[in-house]
């Protein structure tokens, strides 16, 4: 990180100086990851939303819930997704705030999830093209939710990967149905038109 930062500054005709705050932040994240080596702490367990709060979130129909509706997920699957989303989002915020991991580690984690998603999507299209598009989406979601992935060489708590996939679906970085982009676009145009 230090070498890359210095090289970047030099290549952009900036002084080759790194602030103590930046260095301390990177160093603390690194030391903490070594100290905690094995598993990230699940901070979200102590602040899980109530069933009413989960139901309210579903009624707001965030994009990741709409994506699940497109592939005809059950109500139980949607509730689980909202809970997983909360856990992943809450933990990520706490890990960064407490300097256990940094933004770069999250970005790397998300990139690896997206790569796995893209490869799984291609595989399902090639091997399961005879299935309905909804079933292809369910297969893709299931494949991604079985994925195990680490953040900064640390194991993640239960539901981190699943919730992170819902975060990515909410940001429209991926989707489950083969035609998810056009379906969501038509739904948005229907609301506005």
Other C-beta atoms within 10 Å of 141: how many?
25
Residue 92 clears pLDDT 80, i.e. is over it = yes
Burial of residue 50, with CB atoms counted within 10 A of its CB: 0-12 exposed, 13-18 middle, 19 or more buried: exposed
Asked if residue 192 has pLDDT above 80, the reply is no
pLDDT value of residue 191: 76
Mean pLDDT of the chain: 91
pLDDT band of 41, cuts 50, 70, 90: confident
Pair 176, 137: CB distance under 8 Å? yes
pTM: 0.79
What is the rounded CA–CA span in Å between residue 123 and residue 110? 20
SS (H, E, C) 23-58: HHHHHHHHHHHHHHCCECCCHHHHHCCCHHHHHHHH
| pLDDT grade for 193, boundaries at 50, 70 and 90 | low
If you average pLDDT over residues 178-191, what whole number do you get?
Answer: 90
| Of 68 and 41, the one with more pLDDT | 68
pLDDT tens profile 1-15:
777 888 888 888 888
Q: What is the mean pLDDT of residues 53-59?
A: 93
Higher-confidence residue: 156 or 25?
156
pLDDT at 30: 66
């Amino acid at each position: 990180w230090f070498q890359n930062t210095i090289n970047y500054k030099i290549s952009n005709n900036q002084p080759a100086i790194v602030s103590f705050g930046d260095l301390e932040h990177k160093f603390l994240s690194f030391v903490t990851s070594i100290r905690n080596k094995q598993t990230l702490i699940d901070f979200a367990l102590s602040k899980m939303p109530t069933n009413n709060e989960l139901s309210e979130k579903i009624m707001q129909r965030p994009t990741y819930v709409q994506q699940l509706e497109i592939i005809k997920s059950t109500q139980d699957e949607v509730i689980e997704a909202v809970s997983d989303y909360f856990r992943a989002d809450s933990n990520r915020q706490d890990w960064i705030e407490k300097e256990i991991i940094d933004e770069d580690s999250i970005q790397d984690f998300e990139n690896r999830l997206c790569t796995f998603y893209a490869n799984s999507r291609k595989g399902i299209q090639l091997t399961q093209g005879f299935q309905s598009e909804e079933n292809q989406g369910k297969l893709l979601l299931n494949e991604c939710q079985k994925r195990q992935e680490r953040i900064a060489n640390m194991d993640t708590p239960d539901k981190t990967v699943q919730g992170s996939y819902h975060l990515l679906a909410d940001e429209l970085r991926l989707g489950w149905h083969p035609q998810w982009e056009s379906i969501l676009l038509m739904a948005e145009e229907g609301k506005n038109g």
